[in-house]
Structure 1
Amino acid sequence: MWPAADSLFAKLALHAERIALREGQLQFSYRQLLDEVSRRSAYLTQLGVQRIALDLDNGIDWLLWDLAVLKAGLVCVPLPGFFSPDQQRHVLDSASVDCLLGQDSPAFRDLGFVATGAGLLLRARPQADELPAGTCKITYTSGTTGQPKGVCLDAHTQLQVAQSLVSASASCQVERHLCVLPLATLLENIAGVYAPLLAGACVELLPMTEVGLLGASQFDLPTFLGALQRVQPHSLILLPQLLLALVNAGERGLPLPGSLRFIAVGGGRVAPQLLERADALGLPVFEGYGLSECASVVCLNTPQQRRIGSVGKPLEHLEIRLGPDQEVLVKGPRLLGYLGEPAPQGDWLGTGDLGHFDEGFLILHGRKKHQFITAFGRNVNPEWVEAELVQQLPIAQAWLHGEALPTNVAVLVPRFAESSDEDLAAAVEQVNRQLPDYARVHHWLRAGQPFSSANQQATANGRLRRTALYQHYRSAIDELMALDIFTTSEPCPGDAP
Structure 2
Amino acid sequence: MNKILTAIYQHALTTPEKIALSGQTKQLTYAQLVTQIEQLADWLMAQHIGRAGLWGENSIEWIVADLAAWKAGITLVPLPRFFSRAQLQHVIAQAQLPCLLVCGDMEQVAAISERKISPIATIFLDQLIANENTSAIDSVAKITFTSGTTGTPKGVCLSTTALEKVTLALAERIYLAINSVTDTTRDINSHLNLLPLSTLLENVAGVYVPLYLGKRVIVLAGASLGLTGSSQLSLPTLLQALHQHQPNSLIVLPQILQGFVAASAQGFHLPASIKFIALGGARTPAVLIEQARAMGIAVYEGYGLSECASVVSLNAPLADKIGSVGQALEHVEIKIADGVINVRGNVFSGYLGQTTNQQNEWLDTGDLGYIDDEGFVFITGRKKNLLISSFGRNISPEWIEAELCLCRAIAQVMVIGDSQPFCSAIVVPASAQITAEQIAHEIRAINQHLPDYAQIQKCIIAAEPFTPANQLLTDNGRLRRAAIFERYGDAITALYSAANAHSSNLSSAMQYAGVVYDIF
**TM-score for the superposition, normalised by structure 2:** 0.90
Match of 1:249 among 254, 263, 271: 263
Match of 1:426 among 412, 430, 441: 441
Query: Contact (CA 8 Å) 2:148, 2:475: kept in 1 or not?
Result: no
The answer on 1:337 being equivalent to 2:350 is: yes
SS at match of 1:369: helix
Please give the per-residue CA displacement for 1:305-359, whole angstroms capped at 9, x wherever unaligned: 1111100000011110011x21111110221111000013562111110100112
Structure 2 equivalent of residue 443 of structure 1: 458
1:57-456 aligned at under 5 Å gives the runs: 57-102=57-102, 105=107, 107-109=109-111, 112-117=112-117, 119-123=124-128, 126=131, 128=133, 133-170=138-175, 171=178, 172-323=186-337, 325-345=338-358, 347-358=361-372, 359-456=374-471
SS at match of 1:43: helix
Query: Contact (CA 8 Å) 1:132, 1:336: kept in 2 or not?
Result: no
Equivalent-residue separation in structure 2 for 1:21 and 1:124 (angstroms): 34
**In the superposition, relative to structure 1, how do residues 45 and 495 fare at CA in structure 2: closer, same or farther (>3 Å)?**
closer
What residue identity is the alignment partner of 1:184? Answer: S
Percent of residue pairs identical: 42
**In the superposition, relative to structure 1, how do residues 10 and 61 fare at CA in structure 2: closer, same or farther (>3 Å)?**
closer
SS at match of 1:263: strand
Please give the per-residue CA displacement for 1:377-436, whole angstroms capped at 9, x wherever unaligned: 111111111111111100001010010000111011110211111100111011111211
Equivalent-residue separation in structure 1 for 2:504 and 2:197 (angstroms): 41
The answer on 1:479 being equivalent to 2:481 is: no
1:11 Cα deviation after fit: 4.4
Q: Which stretch of structure 1 is more off in the superposition, 452-461 or 431-440?
A: 452-461
1:462 Cα deviation after fit: 2.4
Equivalent-residue separation in structure 1 for 2:5 and 2:295 (angstroms): 42
SS at match of 1:81: coil
What residue identity is the alignment partner of 1:269? Answer: R
1:116 Cα deviation after fit: 2.5
Please give the per-residue CA displacement for 1:195-222, whole angstroms capped at 9, x wherever unaligned: 0111211000111111111124211111
Query: What are structure 2's unaligned runs of at least 5 residues?
Result: 119-123, 179-185, 516-520
**In the superposition, relative to structure 1, how do residues 490 and 460 fare at CA in structure 2: closer, same or farther (>3 Å)?**
farther
Equivalent-residue separation in structure 1 for 2:134 and 2:456 (angstroms): 47
Q: Which stretch of structure 1 is more off in the superposition, 159-168 or 11-20?
A: 11-20
Equivalent-residue separation in structure 1 for 2:63 and 2:97 (angstroms): 19
What residue identity is the alignment partner of 2:187? Answer: Q
The answer on 1:37 being equivalent to 2:37 is: yes
SS at match of 2:76: strand
What residue identity is the alignment partner of 1:161? Answer: V
What residue identity is the alignment partner of 1:80? Answer: P
Query: What are structure 1's unaligned runs of at least 5 residues?
Result: none
1:146 Cα deviation after fit: 3.9
1:4 Cα deviation after fit: 5.1
Q: Which stretch of structure 1 is more off in the superposition, 172-181 or 279-288?
A: 172-181
The Cα RMSD (Å) is 2.1
**TM-score for the superposition, normalised by structure 1:** 0.94
SS at match of 1:204: strand
1:10 Cα deviation after fit: 4.6
1:456-475 aligned at under 5 Å gives the runs: 456-475=471-490
